[in-house]
């Protein structure tokens, strides 16, 4: 079925840089034999999984969104992919990414931008990035789970724009070994799935911590803090209404909702808009490993890489120290709430055509990343789930945020919220281009 869905829609959607359908079919046949023999290799056994083209997967090339494959050593699996493969999860292929994962909209001039399945053939829109093909693969039906990475929102943005769910784990919880880096100080592996229930299933299969299974929180005792500052600026009315409607349902179901102002948002975002830590760390990685590729970068990526040419070591270290302090200060909000919520993205997915204008791209990219980046900059974990369709027929999302290493609390709250407001497949139906 995954191969059929890929064949039917991939020419339009362009989710994959490398499709591994033939290999997946061989693995599926072998799995049939194992299952018939009573062999169980783990929860992910037989599940079709798409993998962002930053992860090394043995036998599949790694491009990291660039114009050429990396040397073969970059195809080696790190701990997250090894866990997937050890359970005989079936890798359907490598999905498109923004070049070096440095962008929140999903564009890529080298291999083409995936098309948001909720847009029209006449006016294709971006799928969100940087894990741009991940959400598309789920909506397409060629995968039931997707591996992505998240440095400033790169699993939550494509999940929100394509009507899926996603989880960004706390930095350091899961290893980034075997993943082409953007910013090792902020990079985290992440998951996308069709529902929060599926997300919980995958998280428990991959997470190394031995702990009781995640169960939905009791909404009647859940303290939900609504971030009132920054995250609502410039929000589109239909997205605001979808978010508020979800919050009204939660309040009616017994959740305790209150405003929870978040400290240091503007200070952290000022650093982020100036390149944060990522621009300097990517430039250092390129200088060290692939200096010849710098001149071939996507212009949208190159503009941010070049902007740090005059950044001093002292400036970089000061940015890192300030962000750490902002995270500690902002975390005091969790003394009075269990989780925080906000619109995942304040705006609809732009059209691919309009983003050809560099100034429009710059503004749209920063706005798409703004709400999600806060969780990364402060060092927290976060998830997203759908809240409905906006005025352009593009899905919108509710972002749920929890403190560092509180993924089980986060997922328990997300499960309860999904139960109350409905899952994406129930709420949204089928995407027009699938």
Which sequence positions are flagged as catalytic? 52, 130, 154
Distance of CA 144 to the CA centre of its chain: 15
**Tokens encoding 324:** 């750490």
What are the phi and psi torsion angles at 91 (to 5°)?
A: -75, 115
How many Å apart are CA 109 and CA 10, to the nearest integer? 18
Q: Do the beta carbons of residue 428 and residue 393 sit within 8 Å?
A: no
Q: Do the beta carbons of residue 182 and residue 281 sit within 8 Å?
A: yes
**Tokens encoding 209:** 């911590």
How many Å apart are CA 67 and CA 63, to the nearest integer? 7
Task: For the beta carbon of residue 108, count every other beta carbon within 10 angstroms.
Answer: 27
How many Å apart are CA 433 and CA 373, to the nearest integer? 29
């Amino acid at each position: 079925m995954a191969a059929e869905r890929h064949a039917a829609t991939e020419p339009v959607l362009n989710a994959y840089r490398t499709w591994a359908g033939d290999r997946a079919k061989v693995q599926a046949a072998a799995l049939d034999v194992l299952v018939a023999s009573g062999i169980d290799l783990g929860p992910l056994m037989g599940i079709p999984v798409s993998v962002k083209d930053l992860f090394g997967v043995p036998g599949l090339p790694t491009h990291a969104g660039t114009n050429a494959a990396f040397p073969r050593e970059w195809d080696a699996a790190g701990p997250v992919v090894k866990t997937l493969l050890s359970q005989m999860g079936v890798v359907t292929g490598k999905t498109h990414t923004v070049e070096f994962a440095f962008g929140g909209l999903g564009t890529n001039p080298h291999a083409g931008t995936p098309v948001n399945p909720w847009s029209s053939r006449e006016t294709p829109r971006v799928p969100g990035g940087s894990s741009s093909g991940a959400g598309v693969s789920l909506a397409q039906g060629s995968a039931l789970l997707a591996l992505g990475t998240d440095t400033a929102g790169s699993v939550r943005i494509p999940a929100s724009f394509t009507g899926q769910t996603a989880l960004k784990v706390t930095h350091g919880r899961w290893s980034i070994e075997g993943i082409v880096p953007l910013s090792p100080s902020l990079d985290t592996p992440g998951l996308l799935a069709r529902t929060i229930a599926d997300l919980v299933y995958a998280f428990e299969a991959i997470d190394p911590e031995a702990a009781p299974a995640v169960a939905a929180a009791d909404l009647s005792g859940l303290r939900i803090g609504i971030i009132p500052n920054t995250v609502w600026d410039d929000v589109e009315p239909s997205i605001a209404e979808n978010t508020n409607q979800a919050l009204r349902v939660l309040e009616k179901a017994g959740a305790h909702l209150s405003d929870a102002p978040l400290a240091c948002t503007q200070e952290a975002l000022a650093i982020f808009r100036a390149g944060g830590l990522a621009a300097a760390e990517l430039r250092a990685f390129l200088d060290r490993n692939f200096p010849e590729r710098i001149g071939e970068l996507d212009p949208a990526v190159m503009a941010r890489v070049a902007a740090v040419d005059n950044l001093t070591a002292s400036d970089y270290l000061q940015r890192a120290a300030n962000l750490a302090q902002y995270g500690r200060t902002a975390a005091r909000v969790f003394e009075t709430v269990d989780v925080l919520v906000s619109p995942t993205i304040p705006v609809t997915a732009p059209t691919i055509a309009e983003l050809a204008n560099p100034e429009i791209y710059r503004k749209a990219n920063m706005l798409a990343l703004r709400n999600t980046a806060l969780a990364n900059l402060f060092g927290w974990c976060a998830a997203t789930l759908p809240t409905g369709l906006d005025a352009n027929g593009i899905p919108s999302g509710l972002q749920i945020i929890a403190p560092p290493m509180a993924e089980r609390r986060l997922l328990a709250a997300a499960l309860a919220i999904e139960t109350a407001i409905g899952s994406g497949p129930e709420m949204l139906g089928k995407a027009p281009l699938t």
